[in-house]
Structure 1
Amino acid sequence: MSEPLAYVILGAYGGIGSELARQLAQKGAKLLLVGRDEARLAALTSELGASYAVAEATSSAQIEASIAQAVESFGSVYGVANCFGSLLLKPAHLTSDEELESTLAINLKSAFAVTRATGRLLKTGGSVVFVSSAAARLGMANHEAIAAAKAGIQGLALAAAASYAPRNLRFNCVAPGLTRTPLTERITGNETVAKGSLAMHALGRFGEPADVASAIEWLLDPRQHWITGQILGVDGGLATVRARGGA
């Protein structure tokens, strides 16, 4: 029987990250779960029999240290998923410099830190998956800052896929539509706002954390070793499809 693979999940106790952790744990994977809230990490690791490391999404040094910890603890790491993220819905003229910088730091800077760390530390190949957004492909009002950050993640993944392909280190993204997580509750929990957003999703429902986590898990799997530099829409058709109404 082959040795279980090891994975690092950053932003591990969020809606998508925690579901991904549970899916991988069910398959026997060795996990290092990373986030800023030690109490929430400890609770999840206790549930899953995993390990954890405390790191801020905005700290490149802490992100690299957490991946280095996983390599040291497990001997090798096959995959890393960066589920750190934030959501800012404001037009550009109402967005402060501080809000823009925070959005870019939590989303894009964390992805760059993961790229640099895995480029240094994953010597024998593997899989890195980032979480982008359908908003990076579809012009949506009041999404300027977050769309810029998420589009940057996509460009980063494509460049990294080219740079590290000779080492069989793969980089891919998932690009979700609106997904029911604690981060989006103020949208999905508002009946009026949710109704308008729901109408934009051709499949007629919002995503669930398991929908996105399953796609990330699939890209992390070594059986997908010929897939790199891809942006996988997990969005109910939001970015590409417009339903006509009744069938």
Structure 2
Amino acid sequence: MPATDPVVIFGATGGIGTALARRLHAVGTPLFLAARDPEKLQILMNELGAPGQVVDAMQSGEIEAACQQAASATGSLSGIANCVGSLILKPAHLTTDQELMNTLMLHIGSSLAVVRAAAKLMRGAGGSIVLVSSAAARIGLANHEAIAAAKGGIQGLALSAAATYASKNIRVNVVAPGLVRTPLTQKIWQSAASEAMSAQMHALGRIGEPDDVASLMQWLLDPAQTWVTGQIFGIDGGLGVIAPRPKQSAG
């Protein structure tokens, strides 16, 4: 049975956010869409017939205001998904202080703001928070220092928040994808050679699709999942935990 209170999706116009919005809309879940780009957001709002708001995820006040707006009709929220993200691929010695702070604030700062808003709006019937980490927080990948630190921080935040708000029936879980085919990651997989190389790193032999991740997020947001909290779900083709099979030589 779909939720009766809205689900807020931050980063709704990204690859995973859009896939999640379409999945939830298909089963009749009320939505509130939030994203930075007003043009892309309006297109998605028109497609799904859902309300929304332009939000700069670096501004915690805007995140909380969007959640308040989303809850204004029913007085509560059933779920919040934070699909906001960025990608910086640099070794530590080439990463500036500003790049690091921007990465941490966008990922950890927005996630903390989501938890804070949920804690204020879900205290009645409870609800579900789903955050997005990365396989890069579980396995060492070269040139991922800043993003891995940010994604690892999200996992720590989620575990603590799950403990803090369990008594309020607020569930906090994390999905940790491998490489997913989205506009954000296009520079990694845009050529056939780079996609093949990336696919080989995943034990299942392919990179992910947005719907792979969105399907799990939808399940976690379902009000029926009342006994799932504090979990970090790797949805990564095995990247985070399985060594890929060595490529066999042609001979």
Structure-2-length-normalised TM-score = 0.95
Equivalent runs, 1:40-119 vs 2, <5 Å? 40-119=40-119
Q: Distance in 1 between matches of 2:2 and 2:202?
A: 41
Q: Distance in 2 between matches of 1:190 and 1:6?
A: 39
Deviation at 1:245, TM superposition (A): 5.1
Residue in structure 1 matched with residue 13 of structure 2 by the alignment: 13
* Per-residue Cα deviation, 1:160-212 (whole angstroms, up to 9, x for no partner): 00000000000000000000000000001033433332211000000000000
Gap regions ≥5 residues in structure 1: none
Q: Distance in 2 between matches of 1:75 and 1:2?
A: 17
Cα RMSD after superposing both structures: 1.6
CA contact (8 A) 2:3 2:222 kept: no
Q: Determine helix, strand or coil for the equivalent of 1:138.
A: coil
Q: Determine helix, strand or coil for the equivalent of 2:224.
A: helix
Quick one: which amino acid aligns to residue 44 of structure 1? L
* Per-residue Cα deviation, 1:84-105 (whole angstroms, up to 9, x for no partner): 0000000000001111111111
Deviation at 1:3, TM superposition (A): 6.8
Q: Distance in 2 between matches of 1:127 and 1:60?
A: 19
Q: Distance in 2 between matches of 1:2 and 1:226?
A: 17
Q: Distance in 2 between matches of 1:2 and 1:199?
A: 38
Equivalent runs, 1:193-212 vs 2, <5 Å? 193-212=194-213
* Per-residue Cα deviation, 1:104-127 (whole angstroms, up to 9, x for no partner): 111111001111111122222100
* Per-residue Cα deviation, 1:200-233 (whole angstroms, up to 9, x for no partner): 1000000000000001001111111100000000
CA contact (8 A) 2:2 2:223 kept: no
After TM superposition, the structure 1 stretch with the greater mean CA deviation from structure 2, 156-165 or 102-111, is 102-111
Residue in structure 1 matched with residue 136 of structure 2 by the alignment: 135
Q: Determine helix, strand or coil for the equivalent of 1:223.
A: coil
CA contact (8 A) 2:3 2:30 kept: no
CA contact (8 A) 2:4 2:78 kept: no
After TM superposition, the structure 1 stretch with the greater mean CA deviation from structure 2, 78-87 or 38-47, is 38-47
Judging changes above 3 Å, is the alpha-carbon distance between structure 1 residues 62 and 179 closer, same or farther for their aligned structure 2 residues? same
Q: Distance in 2 between matches of 1:189 and 1:16?
A: 18
Q: Distance in 2 between matches of 1:148 and 1:98?
A: 15
CA contact (8 A) 2:132 2:176 kept: yes
Q: Distance in 2 between matches of 1:33 and 1:137?
A: 30
Quick one: which amino acid aligns to residue 74 of structure 1? T
Residue in structure 2 matched with residue 35 of structure 1 by the alignment: 35
Q: Distance in 2 between matches of 1:73 and 1:195?
A: 48
Q: Determine helix, strand or coil for the equivalent of 2:201.
A: coil
CA contact (8 A) 2:17 2:83 kept: yes
Structure-1-length-normalised TM-score = 0.96
Residue in structure 1 matched with residue 222 of structure 2 by the alignment: 221
Residue in structure 1 matched with residue 170 of structure 2 by the alignment: 169
Fraction of identical pairs, as percent: 56
Judging changes above 3 Å, is the alpha-carbon distance between structure 1 residues 7 and 138 closer, same or farther for their aligned structure 2 residues? same
Judging changes above 3 Å, is the alpha-carbon distance between structure 1 residues 2 and 205 closer, same or farther for their aligned structure 2 residues? closer
Q: Distance in 2 between matches of 1:117 and 1:230?
A: 20
Judging changes above 3 Å, is the alpha-carbon distance between structure 1 residues 165 and 3 closer, same or farther for their aligned structure 2 residues? closer
Quick one: which amino acid aligns to residue 165 of structure 1? A
Equivalent runs, 1:154-165 vs 2, <5 Å? 154-165=155-166
Q: Is 1:126 equivalent to 2:127 in the alignment?
A: yes
